[in-house]
Amino acid sequence: MITVIAIVVGIGIMILIHEFGHFVVAKMLGIFVEEFSIGFGPAIFKIQGKETLYKICPIPLGGYIKMKGEDPDSELTGSRDEFLSRKTYEKILVAIAGPAFNVILAIIILPFAFSVFGQKVLVLPNYVQIVKIAKNSPAEEMGLKRGDIIEKVDGEKINSLDKAMMMIAGSNGNTLALSIKRNTENFIIKVKPEKKTEYDIDHYVLGVTFKIDPIIGRLPKKSQAYLSGLRENDKILAVNGVEIISYDEIFPEQNDGKVIELKVKRGEKIFNVDLNSIKESNITKKGKIRKEFTYDILPKYNVKRLSFVNGMGETFRDIGRDFFLIYFSLKLIAKHPKQAKNLGGPLAIGYIIAKSLKEGFSSYIRWIAMISVNLAVVNLLPLIVTDGGLILIFLFEEITRRKMKKKEREVFATIGWGLLFLIFAFVMFNDISRYF
């Protein structure tokens, strides 16, 4: 029930803020707003304000405001309180206000999430140790081994995983001199990172996996791991009798739901724990939503709360990444149409919101912010039924110095509604196919 409420509240807030953007700018410009509706269909709740009728309707796929003089086929008097009687830039301001307020929503709620709930920051060792080496990789060819510690790259001291990965990724394929510590030996290995191209993005890899300490993070008291006897800060020494050195080695490559026997160190005490698996819905590599066997443990992490200033900086970085991801996704789909299968609709949004809530309120808020930014971009697409479509019409009329004829509007509307229907049908098909 809480999950359903979280989904409804999350989507409802995004719609409310979007329509409020149109509403408040229209009112500021002196345009008469007749109706303000959240949802479509017959009203299940309504109240008459001084000027505006406020409604809540049962179909939660959007909302609208109805302004005086917004119907291009109605007879306009030229009054300033009529939407279509206003100047072009004023009409564009009203149209663009909805998407703008969706972005503003993200700018408001993200600093709150960063400062109040904080960010989960993975606890990493202050050294860089190799755990796995891919076959036929540059690392294997040059003789790197499991357990090797990378102390320097091109003479520069390396004391964090982030720095090592950054220097490898930013090598541009140039040969790197790695200062290696192997047991009591110290020597240098020169290796040239391999270029990989994925989704038209080039990156460079050595073909290695680095160590994350096999220490257990926070556990809810109702989790299977807690009930099995594990506690936060427990260190896993072995799994099913095989010694491990990194967190990712805890999990079997093929998880068939079997109990795994963990050798655990807690302080000076060493003991065994049988950990049962659980079934949880996840998105598979093929994009399907399936119940899969998993173990409800997480690596050690700290919660870092940011100051307001740092939270604002992180907010703008997050929003910038969101815009880049949207741009990149649209570009990728244009070049590789098969990738359109990854587009999601209302069911996918609901699933993401529900999943984020389980990860914590901070994750929930961050996903609401990201989806709100996506909603802003979608609404600026040049379809007749979107804000972008309205803006396109207003710009056409301003440039040509004439009103768009009724026949032209009907053709534009037909194309717009047709494209919108196809998009909606496609994403709904994607949503449904994820479950089957």
Domain 128-210 matching CATH 3.30.960.10: the answer reads no
Give 334 or 24, the one with higher predicted confidence: 24
Cβ atoms of 301 and 92 within 8 Å: the answer is no
* Mean pLDDT over each residue of the chain, to the nearest integer: 85
Domain 224-303 matching CATH 2.70.70: the answer reads no
Task: Provide mean pLDDT across the span 74-103.
Answer: 91
224-303 and 128-210 share a CATH fold: yes
* 247-298 pLDDT tens trace: 999 988 777 778 899 999 999 999 999 998 888 776 666 666 667 788 888 8
Domain residue spans in the chain? 2-118+366-433, 128-210, 224-303
Q: Given pLDDT bands bounded at 50, 70 and 90, which one contains residue 75?
A: confident
Q: Given a cut of 70, is residue 402 above it in pLDDT?
A: yes
Task: Provide mean pLDDT across the span 329-355.
Answer: 71
Q: Supply the pLDDT for residue 339.
A: 67
Q: Given a cut of 70, is residue 340 above it in pLDDT?
A: no
Q: Supply the pLDDT for residue 383.
A: 67
* 125-174 pLDDT tens trace: 989 999 999 999 999 999 999 999 999 999 999 888 888 888 888 888 88
Task: Provide mean pLDDT across the span 316-328.
Answer: 84
Q: Given a cut of 90, is residue 362 above it in pLDDT?
A: no
List residues with catalytic annotation: 19
Q: Given a cut of 90, is residue 222 above it in pLDDT?
A: no
* 99-125 pLDDT tens trace: 999 999 999 999 988 888 888 888 889
pTM, to two decimals: 0.78
